[in-house]
Amino acid sequence: MSATPTYVPKTAFGRWLEARLPIMGLVHSSFVAYPTPRNLNVLWTFGAILAFMLVSQIVTGVVLAMHYAPTATQAFASVDHIMRDVNYGWLIRYLHTNGASLFFLAAYVHIFRGVYYGSYKAPREVLWILGVIIYLLMMATAFMGYVLPWGAMSFAGATVITSLFTAIPVVGGGVAQWLWGGYAVGDPTLNRFFSLHFLLPFLIVGVVLLHVWALHVAGQNNPDGLDVKDVERDTAPFTPYATIKDLFALSLFLILYAWLVFYIPNYLLDADNSTVANPLSTPAHIVPEWYLLPFYAILRAIPNKLAGVIALFGAIALLAFLPWLDTSSVRSAKYRPLFRIFFWLFFFCCVGLGWLGSQEVTDATTLAARVLAVGYFGFFIVVLPVLGLIEKPKPRPASIADAVLAKHGEARAPTAKGSRAA
Partner 1 sequence: MIRFKTSLLLPAALALLLAGGAGALADDAEQPNPPRQSWSFSGLFGVFDQAQLQRGFQVYREVCGKCHKLSIPFRSLGDPDGPGFTEAEVKALAASYPVTNDEPNDQGEAFKRPGRPSDIFPPPDSFPNDQAAAAALGKTPPDMALLAKALKYERGFPWFIFDALPFDQYQEMGADVIYAILDGYTKPDDPQWNLYYPGHRIAMPQPIVDGVVTYQDGTPATLDHYARDVAAFLSWAAEPTLAERKKLGLRALIFLFILAGMLYFVKKRVWSKLG
Q: Find the shortest distance in angstroms from Cβ 36 to partner 1.
A: 11
Using rule CB under 8 A, residue 4 touches partner 1? no
Alpha carbon 183 to its chain centroid, in Å, reads: 33
CA distance 411 to 54: 43
Of 170 and 421, CB closest to partner 1? 421
> What does DSSP assign to residue 123?
T
HSE at residue 217, side-chain half, CA atoms within 13 A, is 13
Of 171 and 258, CB closest to partner 1? 258
CB atoms closer than 10 angstroms to residue 37: 23
For 150-183, b/e burial (b = at least 16 CB within 10 A) is bbbbbbbbbbbbbbbbbbeeeebeeebeebbeee
Using rule CB under 8 A, residue 265 touches partner 1? yes
**Interaction residues for partner 1, span 213-252 (CB under 8 A):** 223, 236, 240-241, 244-245, 247-248, 251-252
CA distance 281 to 261: 30
Among 261, 277, 292, 302, binds partner 1 (CB under 8 A): 261
Among 7, 31, 90, 108, binds partner 1 (CB under 8 A): 90
**Interaction residues for partner 1, span 330-369 (CB under 8 A):** 334, 340-341, 344-345, 348, 352, 355, 359, 362, 364, 368
Of 201 and 223, CB closest to partner 1? 223
Per-residue three-class SS string for 402-422: HHHHHHCCCCCCCCCHHHHCC
Using rule CB under 8 A, residue 411 touches partner 1? no
Which ranges constitute the DSSP H helices of 68-186? Answer: 75-84, 89-116, 125-147, 152-163, 172-180
CA distance 340 to 25: 41
Of 119, 122, 121, 101, residue with least CA distance to 111:
119
Using rule CB under 8 A, residue 74 touches partner 1? no
Q: Find the shortest distance in angstroms from Cβ 76 to partner 1.
A: 9
Of 129 and 226, CB closest to partner 1? 226
- Helix/strand/coil percent split, the chain, to 5: 70, 0, 30
Amino acid at 5: P
Among 163, 177, 275, 366, binds partner 1 (CB under 8 A): 275
Using rule CB under 8 A, residue 44 touches partner 1? no
Q: Find the shortest distance in angstroms from Cβ 168 to partner 1.
A: 34
> What does DSSP assign to residue 381?
I
Taking CB under 8 A as the binding criterion, the range among 51-59, 75-83, 103-111, 155-163 that sits at the site for partner 1 is: 75-83
Q: Using CB under 8 A as the criterion, which residues of the chain lie in contact with partner 1 when the complex forms?
A: 38, 41, 77, 80, 83-85, 90-91, 94, 116, 223, 236, 240-241, 244-245, 247-248, 251-252, 254-255, 258-259, 261-267, 271-272, 274-276, 284, 334, 340-341, 344-345, 348, 352, 355, 359, 362, 364, 368, 414-415, 419-421
